[in-house]
Amino acid sequence: MQLSGKKILITAGPTREPIDPVRYISNFSTGKMGIALAEACTARGGTVTLVKGPTQAYSISPAISVVEVVSAADMYTACTQYFAASDVIIFAAAVADYTPKHPATSKIKKQEGEFTLELVKTKDIAYELGRGKREGQVCVGFALETDNELANARSKLEKKNLDMIVLNSLKDAGAGFQHDTNKVTIVDKKGNVVTFDLKAKSDVASDILDYIETQL
């Protein structure tokens, strides 16, 4: 088991960006893929830290160190604590790209007319940490796309200094968020492209880890 003795950092789930104390911006991620990867890494002997955004309650192996976070800023802060010491980093979370600029401290009351919400960019966690990747580290990203899938994945791979990227397309039935299955294409920095069939996310996790082990 090539992951035996390796320290592995995995992000999973969505983030929530507060509008006011009762509302937030988020996405449809369930965290299932990231959790499946964490479980599979543990089964292969890896020491796993899972930085997880808000999800429903899942049974997660007690061997996995789970760090619960809420916002994109929270996830970035947590990841910076573990990144340098990690041998493998898998950015599987669906992190919000934008967050409200001025979250209200009390509930915003409904008024007549339109309501405008000013948003600012969040930190791109994979990009920020990828710039500091050391020799021997393997960084893996995820890309969920709806158009120009392969071109967008290759762009992210290069921009974020990743070793490989796992591409999902929402055009594929049974793939993406809120499914127990997934269909992925792996693109690596050498230009290789490998497409897998639709499978249970636990089996997809195994395929991804097999590929990661070739990069170690």
Positions annotated as catalytic residues are: 27
Residues in Cβ contact with 33 at an 8 Å cutoff, skipping those fewer than 6 apart:
12, 92, 142, 182, 201, 204, 205
| E-state strands within 87-152 | 88-91, 98-100, 119-121, 138-145
CA distance 1 to 23: 45
150-to-71, 143, 188, 189, 191 alpha-carbon distances in Å: 28, 9, 12, 13, 11
Q: Which of 64, 30, 70 is nearest to 49 (CA)?
A: 64
**H-type alpha helices, 52-124:** 72-82
Alpha carbon of residue 22 to chain centroid: 25
